[in-house]
Every structure is written in structure tokens, then in C-alpha cells.
Amino acid sequence: MEPTLLVYQGVLVVVCIATGGVAVRAWRRRAEPGATYLAVMNAGIVFWTLFTLLPTFLGASPWSFVSLRLVIVFVTVGVFGLFAFTLEYTGRGEYLTRRTLAVLSVQPILTTVVVLTNGYHELMWTETALDPTAVYGVVRTFQAGFLVHTLYSYALLVVAVYMLGLFAVRSDFLYQKQVVAFLFAIFVPWIGNVLYIFTPVQYDLSQVGFAVTGISLGYAITSVGFLDITPVARNRVVETLQAAVFVIDTDGRLVDINDQGRQLLGVGERSVTGEPVSALLDPFPETAALVESITTARTDATFETTLNGRTFTVRISPLYDQRDLLAGRVVLVNDVTEQVQQQRELRQRNEQLDRFASVVSHDLRNPLTVASGKLELFRQTRDDDYLSDIDDSLHRMERLISDVLTLTRTGGDDIELTPVSIGAVAQAAWSNVETDASTLKVVGEWTLPAKRTLLMQLFENLFRNSVEHGSTGNRDAPRPDDSVEHGSTGSRPGADDAVEHNRDPVTVTVGPLGDGFFVEDDGVGIPESERADLFDEGVSGTDAGTGLGLMIVDQVASVHGWETTVTASQDGGAWFEIQSAR
């Protein structure tokens, strides 16, 4: 036996053992993505190699014909398994439907039928004679059917190589060791097959190449984690995460980034792998304190930071290799702006509920106690004067309840704004307030975006404040000629606080002011020492007041994006300014 043939046979034996080992290991791990088709591919290679090896021992024997025919059958199995594995490995597993598998099976089945019946039609090759001097003991001349089979197999290999290359680019070569091993395993036997078919080389070097295939994929499985951390999982998990994901190596360089991370950094589609994290975060000085933590953390750590006016939580987790050595870090960045805002609003709501509980448990108890006491006295004496006191207490409780409900309904920030005539709303609000002989003047006509019902509440409470707390005599001051004057309507009797008898009338004026409006009166005004706390809960200038009226004013203004300030008017009365917050 020639030494070259002996070496060739030895190599084929190694190919069988190597690819067989890969097939067994992949089959044992068939629950993992791609493992089943990897096992099918290598099983096809094992039998391909085996039936190529047998004729080298059989020589010029009729069984050599049979063996070489079976080679073609298992070539189709190997190529089929390779193509299906590539689909699943690169994240295209959804294409592996029953219909797709049936279509891919057509060519292997037809090829098997044609090969097994080749003696009748010789579409694959012409078997002219047995030749003891030939490597495989047979002299063959390849025909059109074999060419079609070869071109089909090459086409599947080309598509597989394209999918792998595209995957490597899109994943920023995170799996470059795996992909390089895979491509190497494809190209080497491919080159060997080309040399055997299209050159005078007597030995089918495809099997020599597949020895490299077995070793490459074996290395990929045992050393690179070919199936431990599959790119399929990376695409389906990392890319679908709502969080921005960054993988950093031990030198502080970016290894991988998902689409959300690209959007956060504003890097578009340009490749940023390999760049230092510190350089990528340079445009964001607010994150400077995090750079050291991101590049040095050896335990899980969570931080909070702001970026472009939004709030983010940053979670850093170290990555360790199979030897428990630090390999890098994973950084997850979640946008929690809405959650933080909701938590803030929830705290405000809870504080508001606490205040309301205080009103219900304390402020309502006083008039209720008075009403109960007066009712008992009335039962004893039948004196009608006590009924007036009871009526006053009930009116006060009604006002408290109404004000609490108003505060509750104006607690949110999401309101629909429409253009509203400020003068018309002021006039309507004036008619809802018990104003006695006081008067309202509206200066000019203008509109502002607002919610009409809430704006009505604002004016009603400002007007009550002026009428109930500002009366000591009317100081008529010059007013613009275009003012519209309205007298008191005295409407909605009994809906407000107890009437303070002998109350002097005041004049209340409403007019435009920049991007807002003012409300002033010519009453006694508000001492400067009391203005800072004027909009707090419980501040009232009379015993009849609820202490919530001006708090409602401030809250209504706030939900509109306005701010409220109070000073003294030219007449010494109260001057309220409601304008957009700056």
C-alpha cells in the first residue's frame, strides 16, 4: 500500500472520530438552540467520511460502487444540517418551519433516488470500470446530475457564509471567535472539495477539510462556549430589552452595545466597539462620577444619574469566565424618569391625603361640636337664636367639604387646556359668590389657555377672600375707562361661610398682566409678614374661613403652569398676580 494512501486513510479515520465526537456532544445538548442541527450535520460528515474510506480498503470491488453512491447521500445530509444550524445560530430559527424543512428535503431525497438508480440512467456519473490502480477502485466520469448536486450544495454554503458574515457585523463581532471558527470549518472542506472535483488531485480532500471542521467546532464548543452562550439568545434577549446594555472589558473598552444603548449615547450606526467608555461618556459631564465605577466595579452596584434632563438607574454587574477570572462588566441603564415622577406625585398625594384627614378629623369636628351643642340647647329652651348658630356651623362644614373636594379634583397635572375668556369666567365666578354690596370690575378682553371649571374655582376663592377679609371701607381708586362693572348678585345664599354682618363693600378688579392676569381689591390688604404663609393650609383671616381657599388658588394655578404671588395694591389692598412660572 502506498504511503500517501495510508496517510489519507489515517486522516479519514481521524475525521470520523473528531466529527463523531462533535455529533455526540451536540446531541447530548440538543435542548439548546442549534445543537440538534449541529448533531445532524456532523453525523452526515461521519458517514460521508466512512463511505469514502471504505473503497480505499475494498479496492476494485462492486461494493465500492455502493459505498461511493452512499457518499453523495450523506453529503446532502451534512450540507442540510449545516444550513439549518446556521439559520438557528444566527437568529433565523423562525424560518425553520415544517414547510421550509420539507422544501430543503426535496433535493436530498431526489439526489438519493438518482444516486441509487444511477446504474439505469447514469445521470450522476458514468461507472466505466473497476480499476485496482484507482484510489477508490472505480473509474468514474461525472455527469450533469452530479454538477447540479454540487452547485446546489455550494449555493447553500454561500448563503450560510453570508448569514454568518452579516451576523458578525451586526453583533459588532462580539462572537468573533465563534464565527471565525465556524467560517474556517466551512471553507477548508469546501476548498478540498473544489480541488478534488475540478483538478487532477486523486484524493477527495473534502474529508481532510472536515477533519479541520471537527477540530474547529470541537474547539468552539469546549473553549469558546459555542453553545453555552448562543448568539440567538443574545439577539432575542439583549436586543429586545428596554434597557440600554453595555458590555465593557477589563481595559474599560466597549465590547458590545444594543440599539437602546446606541440611542442613549447618540452614536447612530457607527461602530463604537473597542472605544474607551470614558471617551464615549465625555459628551455627558453629568456621568463623569460613574466612569470609574463602570470600569472598576468588582461587585454588583446600582447608581442613579441624570442624562439630558432624564433620570436613569445604572446597574453594574461583573462578568467572570470559566476560571472565575474577571472578564469584564455588564452595564444596564434603565430610564426611570416616569417612575420617579409617579413616586413624587404619589408622595404629594399622600401628603395631601394627610392634610385632608386633618381637616376632616379636626376642622369639621369644631363646627359639628358647636352644632350639636346648640341643638341640645334649642331642645331645652326652644330659643330660635340657636338655630341661626346651627345654620352657621352647617354652612361652615359645607364649605370645608366643598374646599376639600376641590383640592382633591385639582391634584393632578394632566388637564386639557382650551382658550378661555378670562373676563367672562371672572364675571361668572362673581355671580357664584355672596358679595353683598361689593363690586367687580373687569379691565379689557383677553383669553388664556386654561380649564374653565378650575379657573372658576380660582376666581371664586380669590373673590371670597377679598369680600370676607378685605372689607373696611371702599377706597375708590381711578380705574381704566374700559372696565366693566358688576354689582353683587347675592346668589347661592347659604353656600358660603357665615355672613359677617356690617361688612363694608370692596371693589375687586381683574385685568391682564403679561402672560397672566391680576386680581386686586381696595380693602385693608394683607400684612407683609403674613404673605409668605398665605397659601398654606389652615391660614384664614376670619373664624368663618376654612383656611383652604387660597391653598386652592395656588393649586389651581400650579396645575396650569402658573405661579401666584401677592403684594399690596396701589390703594393698599391685596394684589394677586397669576402668571406663567418662569
pLDDT tens, 459-471?
Answer: 988 998 888 876 6
Which DSSP letter does residue 234 get? Answer: I
Instruction: Please give the sequence-ordered ranges of beta strands (E in DSSP) within 5-68, or none if there are none.
Output: none
Higher-scoring residue by pLDDT: 133, 565: 565
What's the confidence (pLDDT) of residue 135? 66
What's the confidence (pLDDT) of residue 116? 83
Strand 439-443 and strand 507-513: the pairing is parallel
Give the whole-angstrom CA distance, residue 314 versus residue 276.
18
What's the confidence (pLDDT) of residue 424? 94
At residue 508, does pLDDT exceed 80?
yes
At residue 491, does pLDDT exceed 70?
no
* Span 511-538, average pLDDT: 81
Find, among 459, 426, 495, the residue nearest to 576 by Cα.
459
Percentage of the chain beyond pLDDT 90 is 7
What's the confidence (pLDDT) of residue 30? 74
- Of the given ranges (70-84, 123-137, 143-157, 246-260), which has the lowest mean pLDDT? 123-137
Q: In what order do the strands lie in the sheet with 574-580?
A: 483-486, 439-443, 507-513, 516-521, 574-580, 562-568
Q: What does 9-24 look like in DSSP terms, one character per residue?
A: HHHHHHHHHHHHHHHH
What's the confidence (pLDDT) of residue 430? 92
At residue 423, does pLDDT exceed 60?
yes
Angle, to 10 degrees, between the axis of helix 98-116 and the axis of helix 144-170? 150
Give the whole-angstrom CA distance, residue 132 versus residue 138.
8
Percentage of the chain beyond pLDDT 70 is 70
Place of cell 386686586: 520
At residue 538, does pLDDT exceed 50?
no
Give the whole-angstrom CA distance, residue 303 versus residue 288.
13
Kind plus residue range of the DSSP H or E element containing 295: helix 288-296
* Span 361-387, average pLDDT: 79
Per-residue pLDDT of 298-311, as tens digits, reads 788 888 887 777 88
**C-beta separation of 546 from 490 below 8 A:** no
Strand 562-568 and strand 574-580: the pairing is antiparallel
Give the whole-angstrom CA distance, residue 552 versus residue 408.
10
- For residue 389, name the pLDDT band (cuts at 50, 70, 90): confident
What's the confidence (pLDDT) of residue 442? 94
Name residues whose C-beta falls within 8 Å of residue 276's C-beta, 6 or more positions apart in sequence. 252, 253, 254
- For residue 475, name the pLDDT band (cuts at 50, 70, 90): very low
Per-residue pLDDT of 9-51, as tens digits, reads 887 888 788 778 888 887 887 766 667 888 888 888 888 888 8
* Phi, then psi, of 131 in degrees rounded to 5: -135, 110
Cβ atoms within 10 Å, residue 457: 23
Q: Which segments of 317-384 does DSSP mark as H helices, in order?
A: 337-358, 365-381
At residue 223, does pLDDT exceed 60?
no
Burial class (CB in 10 A: 0-12, 13-18, 19+), 78: buried
What's the confidence (pLDDT) of residue 477? 36
* Span 433-452, average pLDDT: 88
Cβ atoms within 10 Å, residue 256: 20
pTM of the predicted model over 0.75: no
